[in-house]
Amino acid sequence: MAARATPNTSAVVMAFAERFRSADECRGIWYRERGPLTELWLVTDPIDLPGERHLRALGLEVSAAFRDVTVDFHILNSRLVGDDPQGLVPAGAEYHPIR
C-alpha cells in the first residue's frame, strides 16, 4: 500500500489538478514522494510538440509556487509512448483525477 501523501504533496497534486482541469487532452495525474522530491506524471492524449511544451511550462509555473517542495514534473504523451502511457508510470505512484 502506498504511503499517505504529506500535506505538502497533497497541496502540490491538488494545484496541478486544478491547473490542468480545463485541458481536455490531460487524462490524469500520478504522483509519489521520493526522498526530497514530489514526483508527478501527467498522462495526455496524443499532443504535438508545442502542446506538450505548453503543458510543461504550466507545470513549471505551478511548481514554482511551492518554495519548500522540489517538484519533479513529467509528461507521458501518448503520441510518443503509444497506447498505454499509464504503463510507464513508476510503481507506487498514486492516481489523482483531474476532473
Rounded to 5°, angle at Cα 3 from 83 and 95: 25
Sole binder of another protein in the list 21, 60, 61, 92 (CB under 8 A) = 60
Q: How far apart are CA 8 and CA 28, in angstroms?
A: 19
- Shortest reach from residue 65's CB to another protein, in Å: 14
- E runs forming strands in 13-56: 26-34, 37-44
Q: Cα–chain-centroid distance for residue 75? A: 7
Q: What mask, x for binding another protein by CB under 8 A, covers residues 35 to 54? A: xxx-x---------x--xx-
Q: How far apart are CA 1 and CA 75, in angstroms?
A: 24
Sole binder of another protein in the list 79, 86, 94, 96 (CB under 8 A) = 79
Comparing CB distances to another protein, the nearer of 17 and 40 is 40
Q: Which residues bind to another protein, rule: CB under 8 A?
A: 34-37, 39, 49, 52-53, 56-57, 60, 70-77, 79-82, 84, 88
